[in-house]
């Protein structure tokens, strides 16, 4: 599933490509996309990311809100020829954006009013005090909390594992057991790892591609995710793989306490 760095990569590419340009036509290829069926053309005022969501703002106040879910991605093509697994097209004067989504979980909807900026996005207007007040005393394992989009927007399985490893904190710990110092370590590690992920245009270990169909480079930076059985780059211990909430967690039980 695309996480914050992948969605931010798309956001920045879309900002440069379509801001100020008019959507001339759209086509829906999948009946599941009911939220975009009656779309009327408009001019793009700008693009922004909120958590894992892309918002294409139109000059008339509407927004096209896209959540890529498991396997969705946006692809820019000069040609209007429909790519495999495409579910929707937005046409411009010279070029097209396609929603390509093999598993058909991605969603698109039109919003009539501008949504309020969220306060739980570490790479945007993050309110650290508000987060700690709401989340720091929860009796929930830390990995699950980091992936809770209502608690902390944008982080999924890959980056949660990497953040906890860099912080030296076990994914099995309860959130309520952490000190303020440990929370600070998590916030700092998260910002550094997410920033690097954005610089590398995301992590391509399965379906992820950027707006131009190119793989990201951040898979080269992974220290624990997918590394079970290998030596820990921090302490030389062994990377373990366990299941939490139906998802694989990768961590070093030697240096993550």
Tokens of 2: 């695309």
Distance between first and last Cα of the chain: 27
Say whether 170 sits in a helix, a strand or coil: coil
Under 8 Å between Cβ of 213 and 207? no
Catalytic residue list contains 247: yes
Known catalytic membership, residue 201: no
| Beta-carbon count within 10 A of 187 CB | 18
Is residue 3 annotated as a catalytic residue, yes or no? Answer: yes
How many CA atoms lie within 13 Å of 184's alpha carbon, on the beta-carbon side? Answer: 3
Q: Output the CA–CA distances (angstroms, integers) from residue 226 to 38, 146, 159, 162, 241, in the order listed.
A: 42, 18, 12, 11, 8
Return the structure tokens found at 222: 């992974």
Task: Catalytic residue, from 5, 8, 49, 52: name it.
Answer: 52
Is 5 annotated as catalytic? no
Beta strand 95-100 with 73-77 is antiparallel
How far is it, in rounded angstroms, from Cα 29 to Cα 184?
Answer: 46
| Helices marked H in the chain | 4-18, 128-135, 142-146, 157-167, 180-199
C-alpha–C-alpha distance, residues 34 and 25, integer Å? 16
Active-site annotation, residues: 2-3, 52, 247
């Amino acid at each position: 599933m695309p996480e914050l760095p992948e969605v931010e990569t798309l956001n920045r590419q879309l900002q440069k490509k379509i801001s100020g340009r008019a959507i001339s036509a759209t086509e829906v290829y999948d009946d599941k996309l009911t939220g975009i069926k009656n779309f009327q053309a408009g001019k793009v005022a700008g693009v922004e990311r909120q958590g894992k969501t892309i918002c294409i703002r139109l000059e008339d106040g509407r927004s096209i809100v896209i959540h890529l879910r498991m396997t969705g991605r946006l692809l820019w093509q000069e040609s209007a020829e429909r790519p495999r697994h495409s579910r929707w097209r937005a046409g411009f004067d010279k070029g097209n954006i396609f929603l390509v989504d093999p598993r058909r979980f991605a969603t698109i909807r039109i919003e009539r009013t501008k949504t309020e900026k969220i306060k739980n996005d570490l790479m945007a207007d993050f309110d650290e005090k508000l987060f700690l007040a709401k989340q720091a005393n929860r009796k929930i394992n830390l990995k699950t909390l980091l992936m809770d989009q209502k608690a902390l927007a944008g982080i999924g399985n890959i980056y949660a594992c990497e953040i906890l490893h860099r912080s030296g904190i076990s994914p099995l710990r309860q959130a309520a057991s952490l000190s303020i110092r440990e929370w600070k370590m998590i916030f700092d590690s998260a910002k550094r790892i997410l920033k690097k992920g954005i610089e590398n245009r995301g992590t391509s270990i399965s379906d992820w591609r950027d707006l131009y169909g190119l793989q990201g480079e951040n898979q080269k930076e992974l220290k624990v995710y997918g590394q079970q059985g290998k030596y820990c780059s921090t302490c030389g211990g062994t990377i373990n793989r366990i299941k939490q909430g139906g998802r694989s967690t990768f961590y070093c039980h030697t240096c993550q306490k």
